[in-house]
Chain A
C-alpha cells in the first residue's frame, strides 16, 4: 500500500531518517540533528555532520522526519527493542 507514515513508524525502518533529539536526560544531547545510521536494542547511532553520536533510546524523545513536510515525535521508550523485533506486535499503546 503506502510507505512510511505516522501510523507505521513504530514498526518501520528508522535507519536513514533525519532525526532531531527534542529532549534527553543528557542535556548535551538535546537538539542534536542528523541521520540515523544504525540502531541497536537500546541506542541509535546518529551521524551529525560526520560525527557519530550514540543516543540512548529510553532517555530521549526524538523527532523523525518521515517525509518532506511531516515530522513525528516519538518517545524513545517505546522504541526500545531490536530493530528486527520491532516489526511485529505492538498493539498496546502506552500514551
Chain B
C-alpha cells in the first residue's frame, strides 16, 4: 500500500479514536486513555506526528489524555510574555503556548 494511503487511513483512525475517547471519557476514563494510546501508536507506526489539535490533548511526558478541568489545567497568563499554560494533572508537566502579540 502506498505511503499516501497509509497516511490517510492513519489520520482517519486517529480522528475516530480521539472522538471516541471524548465520548467515553466521562463514563470510562480508562477506556478513553486506551483509545488515545492506540491513536498515538498508530501515528508512530505510520510515522506521522499527531495533528496539532490532538497533540494538545495529550501529555508529551506521560501520555495522559488531557481534558481541561479534569486531567489538565488551562490558564491564560499575562505577565511577561502572554501565553496559555496547560498543566498535566497526572505528571505535573507544564506546556506553554505563546500568544504572539495580539
A→B interface (CB under 8 Å)? 1, 3-4, 8, 11-13, 15-16, 37-38, 83-85, 87-91
Given A38-B31, A84-B45, A87-B42, CB of A4 within 8 Å of CB of B12: yes
Given A37-B31, A83-B38, A90-B1, CB of A12 within 8 Å of CB of B45: no
- In the assembled complex, the Cα of A90 lies from the Cα of B6 at a distance in Å of 11
| A87:B34 contact, CB within 8 angstroms | no
| B12:A12 contact, CB within 8 angstroms | yes
Residue of A nearest to B7 (CB): A87
| B20:A11 contact, CB within 8 angstroms | no
Minimum distance in angstroms from A64 CB to a CB of chain B: 14
Leading 7 A-B pairs by shortest Cβ distance: A13-B13, A84-B41, A84-B45, A13-B16, A84-B42, A11-B9, A16-B20
